[in-house]
A and B are shown apart, each in its own frame.
Chain A
Amino acid sequence: MFPLNGTMQDQHTPAADTAPSLETLLVAVGRERDKQAFGVLFGHFAPRLKTYLRRLGCDSGAAEELVQEVMLLVWRRAETYDPRHASAGTWVFTIARNKRIDVLRREQRPEIDPDDPALVPEPDESADRRIEAKESSGRLRAALKDLPPEQAELLRMAYFEDKPHSVISAEHGIPLGTVKSRLRLAMERLRRSLKDVG
C-alpha cells in the first residue's frame, strides 16, 4: 500500500480518498522520482498495456518488452504530466499509442505542438469547456459501459485494431454508413457524459 504522506495530498486529491489516485501517483513520479509510486502505476497499467498490445497483434514476449519501453517513457516524461489536462489513463494511452506506432509500424506520429505560435488560437469561451480530466474519467467509463453493444464493439475495434474505420467496414462486412453512424452515436453519448457536471 502506498503511504499517504503530507506532500502527496495536493489540491488534486480530496483528503477523504483512502488511496492516492493514479494522477497523484504520476505527479509524485514526476516531481520526486518516487519509485514506490511508479511501482503502483506499473501494477495498474502494465497488465492493461499488455492486453492492448496483444490485441494489436504482439505475441506475449514482444508485448512485455514493449510494455517496459512504454513504462520507461512514463518514468522519463512524468515531469511533463499535467493532471489538469488529462487523466493518468489518457496520458499513458497516448504514450503507448505513439510508441506502438513507432515500433510496430515504424512510422512517425504527426502531432500538433501545443506551444506553436502558428496554431490558430481557441476562441476565449472554450477555456470553460476544458475537460476536467479526473472528474470526468469516471463518468466516461460509466457511459462506456452503458453504450449499446454494437457501438461499444466498433469503438473498441477502432482503438485496438490499428485499422481505420473504412477498413473495419470492408473487413467485417459492415456497410460504411453503418460504421460511421454507430461511431458517431457512440461519440454523441460519450461527449454528453464528459459535459455532465455532477
Chain B
Amino acid sequence: MNRPSHHPGDTLLIDYAGGALCEGASLAVATHMAFCPACRHAVTEMEAIGGALLDDLEPEPLSDGCLEALMARLDHERPAPCRPAVKPSPEKSRYPEPLRSYLRGRLDGEGQIGEGGWRFLQPGMRCMDLLSGPNGTTRLIRMKGGVGVPQHTHGGIELTVVLEGGFSDEFGAFLPGDLAIGDPSLVHRPVSDPEGCLCLATTIGGLKLTGPLGRWFNRFVKF
C-alpha cells in the first residue's frame, strides 16, 4: 500500500503526543498514524520529549505516608500473570485500530461497515456519527463517485482522514491514509473520486458554509 502524502504536521502531532487533543481529533490523528510509519516515528520522538520534560520538572514532595499507602495496596494486588493476557483475535476488519474499536457493532460479517445507521446529508453523501460532545462531532462520511461538497470554509479545525477511495480539492488529491486539515483560512470544494470515498471527519468548532447552496447544506451538518 502506498504511504500517505498529506500529514498532520509537527504541531498537530505534538498536540496528540502531549495529550492536548480531544478524543475525536486524536482518533483522526491515530487513524492516520496506522497508515503512516513516518508519523508513528515522529510521535515516538515527541513522547520521548514528553519523558524528558517530565524528568526536568521541579519535584513537588508528596505528603508523608503516600508511598507506604501505595505499598500496602501492592500487597493486595493479585500476582501478575506470567505473560500479558493473550489479546482476543481482532474482529475481522479492514480498518486498523484505534478506528476498529469505534466501529464495534457497526461491522457486518465481512468486516464492512453495515448499511444501517447512515443519515442523509445531500444526494450521494451520507454520514454516521461515531462520537459527539462539547468539542465537536466525529463521523464517517461516505460519498458516491463524483460527488461535490458545496464550497465551504471552517469555523474551527476540521480533520478528515480518507479510509477508502479518495477526493480532490484545490489543494490536491487525498487517498487512503491522507489527513486533510481544514481551518477558517481554507475555502475549498472537495469532489470525490470516481470510485467514491469513505472518510473519518472530525470537527472542532463549527463548520461554516459559504454561498447560498452552502447555507442550505449547513442545516444538515450543524450540531
Contacts and interface: CB of A to CB of B under 8 A. Distances in A.
Q: Which of A118, A122, A131, A161 has the most CB of B within 10 A?
A: A118
B129 interface: no
Interface stretch (A3-11, A12-20, A95-103): A95-103
Contacts of B87: 115
Contact of B54 (A49, A79, A86, A158): A49
Given A119-B34, A121-B37, A155-B53, A131 B44 contact: yes
Contacts, number: 220
B186 interface: no
* B interface, over-half SS: helix
Contact of A75 (B46, B77, B84): B77
A121 B36 CA distance: 8
Interface residues of A, number: 86
A165 B66 contact: no
Contacts of B53: 93, 144, 155-156, 159-160
Contacts of A122: 37, 40-41
B59 interface: yes
A71 interface: yes
Given A118-B34, A136-B48, 17 more contacts: A48-B54, A51-B57, A51-B60, A75-B74, A80-B84, A90-B47, A109-B23, A112-B34, A113-B98, A115-B87, A116-B96, A116-B97, A120-B34, A123-B37, A131-B48, A141-B56, A158-B15
Interface of A: 33, 35, 38-39, 42-43, 45-52, 54-55, 64, 67-68, 71-72, 75-76, 79-80, 86-94, 96-98, 100-101, 105, 107-113, 115-123, 126, 129, 131, 133, 136-137, 140-141, 144-145, 155-156, 158-167, 179-180, 183-184, 187, 190-191, 194
27 contacts: A39-B71, A54-B60, A68-B73, A89-B52, A90-B48, A91-B51, A94-B50, A97-B18, A107-B23, A112-B40, A112-B96, A119-B34, A119-B96, A122-B40, A131-B44, A131-B45, A133-B48, A137-B55, A140-B52, A155-B14, A158-B18, A159-B50, A160-B18, A164-B15, A165-B12, A167-B20, A194-B48
Interface of B: 1, 3, 10-12, 14-15, 18-23, 25-27, 30-31, 33-37, 40-41, 44-63, 66-67, 69-71, 73-74, 77, 79-80, 83-84, 87, 90, 93-102, 157, 177
